Structure 1
């Protein structure tokens, strides 16, 4: 697992649950005192153990935590990798290019042997996307949360229309991306 994900998980946990919560999760995960550096790689089991601890501490489901974290992590990742993203993109364009032009490139830049998930996004009709997640990891809800986060980052709205579990950890989500509703302040 890429350290940038786990190091951002730490920030997420501290923001949502308080600074002491990270130490609690690491202890419950059997990782007391372990530091996670953004540029390093870690065993997938470290993230899984931290997620299991988060489920125990919060009472939330694993997929719910992954989805919320996925939406939360987009702004820091966009800031970190801004040079990879053309200024004229919107949420749909970003998502359609996520696997080939961004995700794969960033992960392989850090570790040539990494096995990132395959995330294929195709536009079925204007604003209607099919997001296909394939990986040996069961992190599809992280990807789903990221779709929500990308839409919000671009001032748009994402809505889940359909979810299909194809095989094992392979999932497909049908998402509608649309302009965010006008706020009352914008209407004045």
Structure 2
């Protein structure tokens, strides 16, 4: 996993709980003294151990913790990889292009990176549902108010993905609703996130 994720976790913990808690988390995860550089990659298992230790140290349920962390990580990811995000994109544009426009580029530039596999599809918003089949206009593009994301990863970090979506919305000063009708933590083989403007 990319070091920027580990750096984001550290920044999140230090911001909300202080340096002492981060030190205690690393000790509890048997990673005392471990330093994470944003330009390196690290074992996925270390992130899981750290996240579990943060939950134990702070008393925060793991899903809530991971989502809050993802929300913070979004800003750092946008700062680091903003060059693959178009200037005129919105939250839904970033989500819709996460695989084709962002993950694909990251994999091409660094084969060690292994972001989750996403299938992202824009859907018509309710306000566009009255148009007759076959009719199209520029208004259709503007009315697309929902993105459906199928998330597959052995890491099963859909909570982080939801937080990242909310953090992207924070970055753009937008409000979105994120629902998860299908989840690997409930026995499915993938997670499905629906992001609505």
Tell me by how many angstroms 1:175 deviates: 2.0
Is this contact kept in 1: 2:41–2:112, CA < 8 A?
no
**Equivalences, count:** 176
Which moved further from structure 2: 79-88 or 11-20?
A: 79-88
State how far apart, in whole Å, the 1-side matches of 2:108 and 2:14 are.
29
Tell me by how many angstroms 1:5 deviates: 0.4
Question: Tell me, what secondary structure is at the counterpart of 1:144?
Answer: helix
Is this contact kept in 2: 1:104–1:116, CA < 8 A?
no
Is this contact kept in 2: 1:140–1:169, CA < 8 A?
no
RMSD, aligned α-carbons = 1.7
State how far apart, in whole Å, the 2-side matches of 1:107 and 1:59 are.
36
Query: Unmatched 5+ residue regions in structure 1?
Result: 178-188
Tell me by how many angstroms 1:113 deviates: 4.2
Which moved further from structure 2: 155-164 or 53-62?
A: 155-164
TM-score under structure 2 normalisation? 0.83
Q: Deviations over 1:110-158 (max 9, x none)?
A: 3x14432112221122212212110111111111111111112112111
TM-score under structure 1 normalisation? 0.86
Tell me by how many angstroms 1:104 deviates: 3.1
Runs of 4+ that moved beyond 4 A: 166-169
Residue 89 of structure 1 corresponds to 89
Residue 148 of structure 2 corresponds to 130
Residue 31 of structure 2 corresponds to 31
State how far apart, in whole Å, the 2-side matches of 1:85 and 1:140 are.
22
State how far apart, in whole Å, the 2-side matches of 1:39 and 1:127 are.
35
Residue 141 of structure 2 corresponds to none
State how far apart, in whole Å, the 1-side matches of 2:92 and 2:44 are.
29
Inter-CA distance 86–72: structure 2 relative to 1 (3 Å threshold): same
Residue 145 of structure 1 corresponds to 163
**Which residue, out of 151, 156, 162, partners 2:174?**
156
Is this contact kept in 2: 1:133–1:140, CA < 8 A?
yes
Tell me by how many angstroms 1:108 deviates: 4.4
Question: Tell me, what secondary structure is at the counterpart of 1:131?
Answer: strand
- Whether 1:165 and 2:187 are equivalent positions in the alignment is no
When Rg is computed on C-alpha atoms for both structures, the one with the higher figure is 2
Is this contact kept in 2: 1:23–1:32, CA < 8 A?
yes
Tell me by how many angstroms 1:169 deviates: 5.9
